[in-house]
Amino acid sequence: MRHPLHGRRCGNGLLLRFDAAGLGLVDPGEPKTAPVRVDFSARAIQRRSRDSLRRQNLLRALADCEAVLDATAGLGRDAFLMASAGKRVMMLERHFVVHALLADGLRRAGEDSDLAPIISRLSLEQADFLDWQARRRFDAVYLDPMFPKPEKRARSKKEMAFLQRLVNQAESSRDSRDSAASELLPRALGLARARVVVKRPSREGWMNDSKPDFSYRGRLSRFDVYLARTVD
């Protein structure tokens, strides 16, 4: 089997490589570092989605919302958690490399009979949320637009560093990066029937300095909830 993006250079020295384990992002200058790929069978993701689902702050923030738009899907971990809890999630990802990694992870997981029921609740489109023509509304819109600075654990540190290199390069080439980011929340509020949930690093302020109705706080991240009825 071949992949159309195999061998594609992605900027910042990173390269896409396709092998028996699927599509991966590698740095040819760091041959000892394992490729970054989307693997929904990985133990950490599975554990996170099995362990007392109701205690997860993201799921508490989404409450009983069933149809969710994850407008900044990234590697799809949060979307997988939502789908594990029974939600139907439409994912948007604008970066072609991140989108390709996620699409490949979904393809492989869909072939796994244990994961297939969860994957069937997920759909993915490559699009910039700010340009996307929505054909419907969603109970909730979820925003998590920024890759945080790499944190302690070695594996996530390496993944984050790769993805930050990739995505941040694309971001810095956008002329109006900050003004574009500030459009995310109003656009999300216009599409959500019930609420918008925004993930933020716990030490950072609110998106657009806009006060949420309430928040769920964890050690590293916080989920700010904006109820749709509070919006004009």
Check residue 104 for interaction with ligand SAM (CB under 6 A). Answer: no
Chain-centre distance for alpha carbon 99: 10
Within 13 Å and on the Cβ side, how many CA atoms surround 177? 10
Cα separation, 202 vs 194, whole angstroms: 24
Give whichever of 120 and 156 is closer to ligand SAM, judged by the CB atom.
Answer: 156
Tokens of 61: 């923030």
Give the shortest CB-18-to-ligand SAM separation in angstroms: 20
| Bridge partners (DSSP) listed for residue 197 | 142, 225
Give the shortest CB-71-to-ligand SAM separation in angstroms: 6
Give whichever of 25 and 26 is closer to ligand SAM, judged by the CB atom.
Answer: 25
Give whichever of 129 and 223 is closer to ligand SAM, judged by the CB atom.
Answer: 129
Give whichever of 36 and 75 is closer to ligand SAM, judged by the CB atom.
Answer: 75
> Is residue 147 within 8 Å of residue 160, measured between CB atoms?
yes
Give the shortest CB-202-to-ligand SAM separation in angstroms: 15
Query: Which residue of 147, 162, 223, 226 would you call a contact of ligand SAM, by CB under 6 A?
Result: 147
Helix (H, G, I), strand (E, B) or coil at 227: strand
Residues 51-80 that bind ligand SAM (CB under 6 A): 71-78
Give the shortest CB-171-to-ligand SAM separation in angstroms: 8
Count of residues that interact with ligand SAM, criterion CB under 6 A:
21
Per-residue x/- marks for ligand SAM, 114-133, CB under 6 A? --------------xxx---
Which DSSP state fits 77?
A: H
**Residue spans of beta strands (DSSP E) within 98-227:** 122-126, 138-143, 192-201, 214-217, 221-227
- By beta carbon distance, the residue nearest ligand SAM is 74
H-type alpha helices, 173-207: 177-182, 184-191
- Nearest CA to 89 out of 53, 62, 114, 51 is that of 62
Which residues are near ligand SAM by CB under 6 A? 71-78, 92-95, 98, 128-130, 144-147, 167
